[in-house]
Amino acid sequence: MALSRLSLRSTTFLKPSSLRRHVTTDTTPITIETAAPFTSHQCDPPSRSVETSSAEILSFFRDMARMRRMEIAADSLYKSKLIRGFCHLYDGQEALAVGMEAAITKKDAIITSYRDHCTFLGRGGELVDAFSELMGRMRGCSNGKGGSMHFYKKDACFYGGHGIVGAQIPLGCGLAFAQKYSKEENVSFVLYGDGAANQGQLFEALNIAALWDLPAILVCENNHYGMGTATWRSAKSPAYFKRGDYVPGLKVDGMDVLAVKQACKFAKEHALKNGPIILEMDTYRYHGHSMSDPGSTYRTRDEVSGVRQVRDPIERARKLLLSHDIATEKELKDMEKEVRKEVDDAVAQAKESPVPEASELFTNMYVKDCGVESFGADRKELKVTLA
Amino acid sequence: MWGILRRSAVDGGGFSASSLRRTRFSLVSARSYAAGSKEMTVRDALNSAIDEEMSADPKVFVMGEEVGQYQGAYKITKGLLEKYGPERVYDTPITEAGFTGIGVGAAYAGLKPVVEFMTFNFSMQAIDHIINSAAKSNYMSAGQINVPIAFRGPNGAAAGVGAQHSQCYAAWYASVPGLKVLAPYSAEDARGLLKAAIRDPDPVVFLENELLYGESFPISEEALDSSFCLPIGKAKIEREGKDVTITTFSKMVGFALKAAEKLAEEGIGAEVINLRSIRPLDRATINASVRKTSRLVTVEEGFPQHGVCAEICASVVEESFSYLDAPVARIAGADVPMPYAANLERLALPQVEDIVRAAKRACYRSK
């Protein structure tokens, strides 16, 4: 996926310039150590040495930059009132979406919460479909009927996009159940936050997953705040990777895209053989819980800027690319400019796209309508027979 | 048990005298009957329906508490574990939110779960998954994620089980767009509607009744065929009449039929409509009947406020106002949590005499 995008964009790099070298498409395997070791529970941790390639790290940078720009664009669209309702942004957590994709296929399933824009993009979703959905347009990935919290991409096994905290956990274990039932050698990644980690249904689903050996990987995106409540105020034990008790767990630096890739690869192999495993991804969100939350009443600005300076996933990828001489500063800046243009173009395109027709109010209620009637606010005025 | 029942070529209405059918019937009717009259309990009807659908489609599987080794808390899933094995019949821990969510997730991925709630009272623990994860998904995803799941189990009052085990959930679930809600009465209803529910690509809530499980009903050859299916959204006129329309569902259909007999003795012809489908509600059949009789008595077991009866009354007043010769009437469960004492429990539920009285009131004939 990432490589094909590179080749699509390669036309810009082929502009005549005798001094410019081609941005690398080198796929020769290289090995890089993660910045921190993994901490494990009930299992042996994977090695810190991650197999990757120059092209792959470059694609990580590009994909994360695209996700970052998308979320920033969404922020300003929300402030211009083009996005309504809830808007939960993922900027800061990009390494998770990108690193995970590098370890799995589109036949492995992903399900997540309402903070789903970047996960959608990682699964191959188009920017214009994302922005259209956010702005309630027909072109949106859910035809404008879902909104920010309900992005789906079934053909890439992305099952949403869920608004009820924790509900996606049993649902994701159900996806794993189906994979095992159908004897597929695929796994399901079930993403949830530190807030959802206390939900009873997590433990109910985990119990069944462990009993029935389901290939479910529970990924706790620990960004340290459940809305405005810090983990120390909501969890007696904030060692989320250990809370599976009999289920093994791994604690991962979620801001290190290579560590995320390694952990997900390890987890997939584990889940196919041994059933469920928990990955706790130590990550951070720069925005508040949602666009209605400034994110500064329960944490200091210093804390946020501190994380940005020291742990930002895109900056870390940039440093890696520069230190390994895979790309120059200018090449990376150019790539960011391209990504920005991509995003701006998608926003413009989405802004032009039409809202759903009024008749869409009544579509997709059922697959099999069987002559059901449905009504508008005034049933004498608006009554429809679902065909 | 019902292992011999298998999909056979449908040969025009099922009145053939082929030996296959004769053999099947002798297995079907475990008790001996006079030739020509076939009867089946609702329990056996449900069991055979699940069995046949599991046989026909490998994606169908059963999940719930005690459905496997215990043979089903009410024996509806008897024999299925032995026949299909533990990869098709799953005993779950007592964790409704967990296993219902897992069932819905499996349906997202294309399997066809039949999730049993030991009673629908326990479905409240999982109601978020039924409504937010199942009912709304096809709409929210603009058709990408459909949910071919069936939630089934006993609903409403049993006998002496008290307040927490006696509630009727028909009105709650039927108010949700995106769900289909069915309520069988007879064995034929049970077979046809459950098969329809399992085959349906949308989430279906299937409300059974514990006290009906052991009741026997005559059943036609057509209904015994493995391809038999009833349409969702169509009510059945159980008894025709021209004086008053009585609508109801589930166990109350039997009460309404008894009431109709009593009314007939007094010269009042009651038309009894078995709703079969609470959502979609067959407003057309109900209104056509009221336009014929000019009077409506709606009956349900559940709580009166915001109930199924309220919806039917509203529909009839909206659609057929000028045809009404009397106010619409509701006979429902009492507006109290279900008491335990037998006499109080009887007072808390509609009885035949309540239906008779309401029908006579609608006919302006008091005792």
Q: CA nearest B315 in A: which residue?
A: A379
Q: CA nearest A144 in B: which residue?
A: B142
Nearest to residue A223, comparing CAs of A243, A245, A238, A208? Answer: A238
Q: B102, A171: Cβ pair inside 8 Å? A: yes
Please tell me the predicted confidence (pLDDT) of residue B366.
65
Measured distance CA(B278)–CA(B217) in Å, rounded? 22
Would residue B23 be called left, alpha or beta, if left means φ above 0 and alpha means ψ between -120 and 50 degrees?
alpha
Domains of chain A, earliest start first: 29-292+300-356 (3.40.50.970), 358-386 (no CATH)
CB contact at 8 A, B208 and B46? yes
Q: pLDDT tens, A28-66?
A: 999 999 989 999 999 999 999 999 999 999 999 999 999
How many domains does one find in chain B? Answer: 2
Q: A167, B177: Cβ pair inside 8 Å? A: no
Q: A174, B107: Cβ pair inside 8 Å? A: yes
Statement to judge: residues B104 and B141 lie in one domain: yes
What residue has token string 């920033």?
A72
Structural domain contains residue B150: yes
Statement to judge: residues B165 and B207 lie in one domain: yes
Enclosing domain of residue B179: 39-224
The CATH code of the domain that includes B185 is: 3.40.50.970
Nearest to B105 among A154, A174, A363 (CB): A174
**Which chain A residues are within 8 Å of B107, Cβ to Cβ?**
174
Last-in-domain residue among B189, B224, B259: B224
Count residue pairs from A and B with Cβ separation < 8 A.
162
Does the N-terminal peptide bond of residue B280 adopt cis geometry, omega within 30 degrees of 0? yes
Structural domain contains residue B58: yes
Please tell me the predicted confidence (pLDDT) of residue B365.
80
Nearest to residue B263, comparing CAs of B309, B295, B285, B302? Answer: B295
Structural domain contains residue B11: no
**Which chain A residues are within 8 Å of B106, Cβ to Cβ?**
174-175, 177-178, 181
Measured distance CA(A204)–CA(B104) in Å, rounded? 14
Measured distance CA(A296)–CA(B303) in Å, rounded? 48
Task: Please give the full DSSP string across B31-64, using - where no structure is assigned.
Answer: S---TT--EEEHHHHHHHHHHHHHHH-TTEEEEE
Statement to judge: residues B198 and B81 lie in one domain: yes
CA angle A230/A231/A235 to nearest 5° reads 135
Structural domain contains residue B186: yes
Nearest to A208 among B99, B141, B142 (CB): B99
Statement to judge: residues B285 and B336 lie in one domain: yes
Task: Please give the full DSSP string across A130-195, using - where no structure is assigned.
Answer: HHHHHTT-TTSTTTTSS-TT---BGGGTB-----STTTHHHHHHHHHHHHHHTT-S--EEEEEETT
CB contact at 8 A, B68 and B86? yes
Find the helix or strand (DSSP H, E) in which B180 lies. strand B180-182
Statement to judge: residues B353 and B323 lie in one domain: yes
Please tell me the predicted confidence (pLDDT) of residue A21.
54
Q: CA nearest B284 in A: which residue?
A: A373
CB contact at 8 A, B198 and B15? no
CB contact at 8 A, B113 and B106? yes
Q: CA nearest A156 in B: which residue?
A: B144
Residues 132-191 of A with CB under 8 A from B: 141-143, 145-146, 150, 152-154, 159-164, 167, 169-179, 181-182
Statement to judge: residues B327 and B254 lie in one domain: yes
Q: B142, A164: Cβ pair inside 8 Å? A: no
Statement to judge: residues B124 and B192 lie in one domain: yes
Asked about B165 being catalytic, the answer comes back as: yes
Last-in-domain residue among B197, B224, B251: B224
Q: pLDDT tens, B157-187?
A: 999 999 999 999 999 999 999 999 999 999 9
B367: pLDDT confidence band, cut at 50, 70 and 90? low
Structural domain contains residue B28: no
Last-in-domain residue among B224, B251, B273: B224
Mutation site for B-interface testing, chosen from A148, A171, A190, A379 by largest number of B Cβ within 10 Å: A171
Q: pLDDT tens, B11-57?
A: 333 344 444 444 444 444 444 444 457 999 999 999 999 999 999 99
Residue-averaged pLDDT of chain B: 92
- Spatial strand order of the sheet with A216-222 comes to A39-41, A249-253, A277-282, A216-222, A188-193, A109-111
Structural domain contains residue B292: yes
**Which chain B residues are within 8 Å of A204, Cβ to Cβ?**
93, 95, 97-99, 101
3-state secondary structure of B326: coil
Q: pLDDT tens, B58-117?
A: 999 999 999 999 999 999 999 999 999 999 999 999 999 999 999 999 999 999 999 999
Structural domain contains residue B345: yes
How do A109-111 and A216-222 pair as beta strands? unpaired
Statement to judge: residues B74 and B216 lie in one domain: yes
A160–chain B nearest CA distance, Å: 8
Nearest to A178 among B92, B109, B129 (CB): B109
Q: B133, A152: Cβ pair inside 8 Å? A: no
Measured distance CA(B68)–CA(B81) in Å, rounded? 5
CB contact at 8 A, A183 and A107? no
Please tell me the predicted confidence (pLDDT) of residue B36.
56
Structural domain contains residue B12: no
Q: Is B320 on the interface with A (CB under 8 A)?
A: no
* CA within 13 Å, CB half, A84: 6
Does the N-terminal peptide bond of residue A161 adopt cis geometry, omega within 30 degrees of 0? yes
Statement to judge: residues B83 and B217 lie in one domain: yes
Q: A152, B141: Cβ pair inside 8 Å? A: yes
* pLDDT-flagged residues of chain A (< 70): 1-23
Q: A167, B101: Cβ pair inside 8 Å? A: yes
- Position B265 pLDDT exceeds 50: yes
The CATH code of the domain that includes B354 is: 3.40.50.920
Q: A379, B318: Cβ pair inside 8 Å? A: yes
* CA within 13 Å, CB half, B84: 27
CB contact at 8 A, B268 and B365? yes
B353–chain A nearest CA distance, Å: 34
What residue has token string 């029908």?
B359
Q: Is A382 on the interface with B (CB under 8 A)?
A: no
Measured distance CA(A285)–CA(A88) in Å, rounded? 10
Q: B97, A178: Cβ pair inside 8 Å? A: no
Q: pLDDT tens, B220-262?
A: 999 999 999 999 999 999 999 999 999 999 999 999 999 999 9
3-state secondary structure of A16: coil
Measured distance CA(B186)–CA(B40) in Å, rounded? 9
Residues 123-142 of B with CB under 8 A from A: 128-129, 132-133, 137-142
Statement to judge: residues B51 and B162 lie in one domain: yes
* CA within 13 Å, CB half, B19: 0
* CA within 13 Å, CB half, A89: 26
Nearest to B280 among A145, A203, A373 (CB): A373
Mutation site for A-interface testing, chosen from B90, B141, B234, B283 by largest number of A Cβ within 10 Å: B141
DSSP-assigned beta bridge partners for residue A50: A32
A167 Cβ partners below 8 Å, 6+ apart? A201, B101, B128, B129, B132, B133
Q: Per the structure block, which two tokens stand in for B318?
A: 């909206």
Q: What does each C-alpha distance from B104 to A71, A191, A205, B22, B119 come to in angstroms?
A: 30, 17, 12, 40, 18
Statement to judge: residues B207 and B58 lie in one domain: yes
Statement to judge: residues B257 and B331 lie in one domain: yes
Nearest to A208 among B92, B128, B231 (CB): B92
A360–chain B nearest CA distance, Å: 9
Measured distance CA(B101)–CA(B129) in Å, rounded? 6
Instruction: State percent of chain B over pLDDT 90.
Output: 89
Measured distance CA(B341)–CA(B139) in Å, rounded? 45
Of B165, B215, B222, B319, catalytic: B165
